[in-house]
Amino acid sequence: MPIYPTLAVAAAVVVVLLELRVLRSGLLREPAYWISMGICFGFMIPVDGWLTKHSAPIVLYRPDDTSGIYPIWDIPLEEYAYAFALLTLVMLAWDRLGRKEAVTYRAAFRASVRGSGSSASAGTHRTGAA
């Protein structure tokens, strides 16, 4: 495999392992994280598309070093792994530094999901128990 896709995939794997084995923040289980990544990838298309467009490139790649696969416009496939690693690493650090806030947020989110998702049945149970 050429060098750029190799390193990009390795970076993404290392960041995921960092979370799963070391930090264990729960970020990758959080719906807000996956929704955010979806939005970021959406905006990545015009921004990175502009940077890499073959007609007037700002960044030029040596063809031998890339996968040569361009799913959307002229953005190399491995660029998505690169972006995933960059954004996820920063988000992990952000949550690590504001740990209390992130944990409180997740607890509140879980409670609200539980509350709204099963409020009817939980309500009956509670009434029954009382």
Chain residues in the site for another protein (CB under 8 A): 3-4, 7, 11, 31-33, 35-36, 39-40, 43, 47, 50-51, 56-62, 65-66, 83, 86-87, 89-91, 93-94, 96-98, 105, 108-109, 112-113, 115-116
CA gap 37, 23 in Å, rounded: 19
> What CA–CA distances, in Å, run from 103 to 15, 19, 31, 107, 114?
20, 15, 14, 6, 16
Q: How far apart are CA 92 and CA 96, in angstroms?
A: 6
Smaller CB separation from another protein, 73 or 94: 94
Nearer to another protein, 56 or 130 (CB): 56
Within 13 A of 51's CA, how many CA atoms are on the CB side? 10
The helix or strand, by DSSP H or E, that contains position 7, with its residue range, turns out to be: helix 3-17
Nearer to another protein, 57 or 128 (CB): 57
CA–CA separation, 105 and 94 (whole Å): 14
CB of 53 to another protein, least distance (A): 11
- Cβ distance to another protein smaller for residue 49 or 125: 49
Q: How far is the CB of 128 from another protein (least distance, A)?
A: 25
Residue 48 CB, nearest distance to another protein (Å)? 9
